[in-house]
Chain A
């Protein structure tokens, strides 16, 4: 990797579908230059961009980035190693944005992930420069295609523009969907970034964008060929840099997921509805039964079933990440910790405990009242353990979501493994109901049983998280 290189791909081989798209491809992106990647449709432009971003597995070769401290970091290699890249700007071909974010939020998130801490005024002036200020509080889904593209582009360019240190920017077909004014602005920003020492790698077939590149990389038959570019275009004056902060990738992801759910609680409703229906159904069916005759195991299972249903329901986050390659963007900027972070963000962490208590009140009418108060005091324990089960279930859903036609895959088949933690928790609750709470740690004691359920769930989570990305 050259001294001034920000990103280097060394002899990478990448397959997409059943085709070998790139073979033995080597390139570097240096400071202060715009490099355009050219080629026909399907030649591998997007593949090169995404491979450099660390999103794609490599058949051979490696991708290396220069960190803030100047060291080389292997971001991806063919042995399966993966580390998060340094802060970058990234604009994917499909925008990579969730429709529920507001314009201002989206830009703030992109900057936070890249370790930039702009003040409110900086964000407004950035939006204003790109004709988006008047839409700053609107959701991305309310924007026209052209405005959405501008926002996506701005989110890719801004992290570098506000940085003092040289940064790499990866753009995939940035001018697609832009009007002439926005295209001119794009060219000005590209030259502006290059003149400020940043490196921009842009996959494009737009002649004007190609004209402002310093180097051209053509892809033909999976092989790269470099020529000199025209470097035309006047740089625009970019906004002043703002102070760097510690990049907060995982924190930004979790805050983003929480914000999306608060704005449109489809996850909460989608989980709670079948759970409540199951609860009411159980109530209707056992209404006149004397549960004392049927053993506490049955009642315990019915009480915990609604929480189990909320835990295993497919998370709304999976659908949000699937929207316009939003998940790929997060995957690129967060790196290998994206999957574990997503599994926690996607899990049903709020519903199990209150639902379990509600379930008890609805279903345990005929239960002995003294024992009932004891149960009420400790019902939170198995319900708390259900949260581990929920995280494991989310990890399994995310595993299936990797498939391109994830909507056609039956994730529920993999969720069968979660039956055992559920049975353990049922046992724990049944023990509390029969014998009251005990604090021993022997086999059969509620605390031990809940621990076993949590450990089983944790092991399933570990396997579902680490095998795909190992």
Chain B
């Protein structure tokens, strides 16, 4: 246990350092974009965290999906741990996306939310599902039946992704609004690209660190639960 704890803390710390460095460089070193082409040229700097947040949340939702499928089919313990980790990190990074995206959208295009934008709406939906899972895990007694229901909700969230794709396509057909282009690589200044890459790497390291920490915490919680049950039995006897 000390190994994963130390590893988790180390990776998280390194990740945080990189993340802070990304923000610093984003403001102080990355050049300004063309004020003629952008409505809010300074606001573009949100991109240096917004895009890595989006990728981190994508990874988290992948963990959630894999875990939900694994628990749903075979009730594997590792599957459940992935559900817990995926939902917590999905909530953290998903919230970051749906907070920073509308702020940027509002500043640049005057549109905080576009019901026809597939990615934004998918992230919003999955974040809502992740919030449900995190809150429910805290309020419901742990057990197979609770886990079955929560895994089903997790899968429900993912089944909504293609439904959302259809719905947003149909909606956009009649409301061709602004498409929020968040990660256009072509034509990016090399300095901007470098800061973005630093952001990607830092968030990846941070993500792995947080996954490790989450796994460690879950293992400790299980061990504590086991010890407390033994103490309960001793108290009754």
Check A-B contact in the complex, CB < 8 A: yes
**Chain A residue with the shortest CB-CB distance to B171:** A423
B167 touching A414, Cβ below 8 Å: no
Residue-wise interface mask of A (1-29) relative to B, using a CB-CB cutoff of 8 A (1 in contact, 0 not): 00000000000000111110000000000
Q: Which A residues are CB-close (under 8 A) to B111?
A: none
Q: Contact: A419 with B115, CB < 8 Å? A: yes
Interface residues contributed by chain B, number (CB under 8 Å): 38
Q: Find out whether the CB atom of A467 lies under 8 angstroms from the CB atom of B152.
A: yes
Residues of B within 8 A of A15 (CB): 143-144
List B contacts of A464 (CB < 8 A): 156
**A59 contacts across to B, CB distance below 8 A:** 75, 144
With A57-B144, A57-B148 known as contacts, the answer to whether A403 contacts B129 (CB < 8 A) is no
Candidates A421, A444, A459; contact of B173 at CB < 8 Å: A444
Contacts A410-B132, A414-B128 given; does A404 touch B140 at CB 8 Å: yes
Shortest C-beta distance, B141 to chain A (Å), equals: 6
Let me know if A402 and B168 touch, CB within 8 A: no
Query: Is A443 a contact of B170 with CB atoms below 8 Å?
Result: yes
Q: Which of A405-428 contact B (CB under 8 A)?
A: 405, 408-410, 413-414, 416-417, 419-421, 423-424, 427
> Chain A contact residues: over half helix, strand or loop, or mixed?
helix
Given contacts A402-B145, A417-B160, A460-B163, contact A467 B173 (CB under 8 A): no
Report whether A57 and B139 are in contact in the complex, using a CB–CB cutoff of 8 Å: no
Report A237-251 residues with CB < 8 Å from chain B CB: none
Residues of chain A with a CB closer than 8 A to B131's CB:
410, 413
CB pair B129 A413 closer than 8 Å: yes
| CB–CB A17/B174 < 8 A | no
Q: Is B166 an interface residue (CB 8 A)?
A: yes
Residues of B within 8 A of A423 (CB): 115, 171
- How many residues belonging to A are interface residues under a CB distance threshold of 8 Å? 37
Is A120 engaged at the interface, CB distance under 8 Å to the other chain?
no
What residues of A have a CB within 8 angstroms of the CB of B163 in the complex?
A: 417, 456, 459-460, 463
Contacting pair A427 B174 (CB below 8 A): yes
Taken together as a complex, chains A and B put the C-alpha atoms of A464 and B175 apart, in Å, by 28
Contact B139 A408 (CB under 8 A): yes
Q: Looking across the interface, which residue of chain B has its beta carbon closest to that of A463? A: B159
Chain B residues with Cβ below 8 Å from A463 are 156, 159-160, 163
**A178 at interface by CB-CB < 8 Å:** no
Chain B residues with a Cβ under 8 A of chain A: 75, 115, 124-125, 128-129, 131-132, 135-136, 139-146, 148-150, 152-153, 155-156, 159-160, 163-164, 166-168, 170-171, 173-175, 225
Residue contacts A-B, CB under 8 angstroms, 26 given: A15-B143, A16-B143, A57-B145, A400-B149, A402-B149, A403-B149, A404-B140, A404-B143, A405-B140, A408-B139, A409-B139, A413-B128, A414-B129, A416-B124, A420-B115, A420-B167, A420-B168, A443-B170, A449-B174, A452-B170, A460-B160, A463-B156, A463-B163, A464-B156, A467-B155, A468-B149
